Amino acid sequence: MKPLWIIKIGGNVIDNPEALDSFLKDFSALDGAKVLIHGGGKIATQIAKGLGVETQMVNGRRITDAEMLKIVTMVYGGLVNKNVVAKLQANGTNAIGMTGADGNVIKAIKRPVKEVDFGFVGDLTETSINDTTLSQILEAGLIPVFAALTHDGNGQILNTNADTIASALAVGLSSRYETKLIYCFEKNGVLTDINNDDSVIAKINPAYFEELTQQGIIADGMLPKLQNAFAAISNGVKEVYIGNAGKLSDINQGKDFGTCLSL
Amino acid sequence: MKPLWIIKIGGNVIDNPEALDSFLKDFSALDGAKVLIHGGGKIATQIAKGLGVETQMVNGRRITDAEMLKIVTMVYGGLVNKNVVAKLQANGTNAIGMTGADGNVIKAIKRPVKEVDFGFVGDLTETSINDTTLSQILEAGLIPVFAALTHDGNGQILNTNADTIASALAVGLSSRYETKLIYCFEKNGVLTDINNDDSVIAKINPAYFEELTQQGIIADGMLPKLQNAFAAISNGVKEVYIGNAGKLSDINQGKDFGTCLSL
């Protein structure tokens, strides 16, 4: 099977024009088929403020009411996505901006209301990814760039977590491609000492993951991140990398990039 | 050659949710390959006002400074485009939202500053349309839905007139498809009496066009519209229709739709 990189960048890269330009250059230099998923950064919150729409967060997640949905659709799907695509084109990468609605490639279910009503937020299922259309787009030599939006198939756009989309794409495309998932964030990788950015753990397999968890070295926010990564691996993803967006060029140079999780 | 419908809807349809839903249903029912191009409607002006960005128009054209470009990129490329795509998906049409930057399908040149500085506005050339990538997308069974945005190939998004994009797509794809261009607007077609919406001229060929122009029946805003239409026809487009967005279903039923221009 052909390799396919699936790379997610967070808001910290989107919010910093220089970091974004540098990342997009490195992304363009990466050989082979690839997919980019981007978050929205602080721009959505700024635009919401400008328009007098209140941003509500619960446990670090955005509540997406009808007005906020308009804003994230504008900002993620329009402003951020099209500028990333235009910049990639300038770097010689034949990018095509997408949401899950485009080509019906990611169909989600509106999150059921339990303790919290998250509003127009989409959850993914095992059948969310349309690998047929996605592989047609990839085989045409196009590089999909996803805003973190999906649809429900009944005309409703839904706001969907970018990490979740990246993971679902990597799993959903693993029957056609050797998928490698990269989560870019602000640190150099999974660290043994959270205060020392050089203390990167190069490789983690499931047994070592258990050991690190029992020792308390992996805890807090990193624990669910790695649990999700190993879930993706047990569902067909070859490798998951967690590393610094600014160091993506290390992969091209054959160096270690961040922390590599695999079986 | 296979037929290809290229249909442009204006802001008046976008601004009216019921008219839009009805149009998208009719568009979905139209057999065969097709492309939709949409304007932005009044939403961009409303959002601009909400954000304190002044809308400047010269001769009915929007001046697109850096702040206004952000707004049209958000509204046309995000809010309007993604909602149209999601609604088409609900109607069983496998729509894919695009701008000229996506897949590098429409490359424009920033309009040179003469008497007026239109700002980030893109003009099209004979080589603007990338028919190779567009036909790959069409052959995959996807229905491109264009926001009226292009790019310059150097990372800059440009605001571009939707009528011009529609015409350029029809001409640029005419070597691969039998292209038929439809301009939907608020009237039933080209009228002999501007006050009588039933006075539609069913067919106009170049000789009749000259006659109607000399008689003063075609004048004002309709004159350049029809000149552009005949220019498209002399550059390979089979037929150009000008008619009412609310009556698109007439085409499916084999009835006359608006005014048909052809050789």
* pLDDT of the residue at B205: 97
Residue B60 has pLDDT above 80, yes or no: no
Burial class of residue B157 in the structure, from the number of CB atoms within 10 Å of its CB (0-12 exposed, 13-18 middle, 19+ buried): buried
Tens digit of pLDDT for each residue in B219-237? 888 898 899 999 999 999 9
Do A133 and B153 make contact, defined as CB atoms within 8 angstroms?
A: no
Do B89 and A155 make contact, defined as CB atoms within 8 angstroms?
A: yes
Domain ranges of chain A: 2-261
Helix, strand, coil percentages, rounded to 5, for chain A: 40, 25, 35
Give contacts of B69 with chain A, Cβ < 8 Å: none
The nearest alpha carbon in chain A to B134 belongs to A140
Q: How confident is the model at residue A30 (pLDDT cuts 50, 70, 90)?
A: very high
* pLDDT of the residue at B203: 97
Q: How confident is the model at residue B151 (pLDDT cuts 50, 70, 90)?
A: very high
A55 vs A97, more confident: A97
> May I ask the CATH class of domain B2-261?
alpha beta
ipTM rounded to 2 decimals: 0.96
Least confident of A60-64, B20-24, B150-154: A60-64
* pLDDT of the residue at A166: 97
* CA dihedral for A155, A159, A160, A166, sign (positive or negative): positive
* pLDDT of the residue at A194: 86
Separation between Cα atoms, residue B93 and residue B85, nearest integer Å: 9
In the three-class reduction of DSSP (H, G, I as helix; E, B as strand; rest coil), residue A51 is classed as coil
Tens digit of pLDDT for each residue in A176-187? 999 999 999 989
Tens digit of pLDDT for each residue in B204-217? 999 999 999 999 99
Give contacts of A156 with chain B, Cβ < 8 Å: 86
Residue A167 has pLDDT above 80, yes or no: yes
Indicate the average pLDDT of chain A: 95
Residue B11 has pLDDT above 90, yes or no: no
Q: Across residues A102-129, what is the average pLDDT?
A: 96
* pLDDT of the residue at B45: 92
* pLDDT of the residue at A61: 80
Give contacts of A87 with chain B, Cβ < 8 Å: 155
Residue A232 has pLDDT above 90, yes or no: yes
Do A78 and B83 make contact, defined as CB atoms within 8 angstroms?
A: no
Separation between Cα atoms, residue A180 and residue A177, nearest integer Å: 9
Q: How confident is the model at residue B136 (pLDDT cuts 50, 70, 90)?
A: very high
Do A77 and B76 make contact, defined as CB atoms within 8 angstroms?
A: no
| Locus of tokens 């040179």 | B112
Tens digit of pLDDT for each residue in B102-132? 999 999 999 999 999 999 999 999 999 999 9
Least confident of A44-48, A253-257, B59-63: B59-63
Indicate the average pLDDT of chain B: 95
Categorise residue A2: left if φ over 0, alpha if ψ from -120 to 50, beta otherwise.
beta
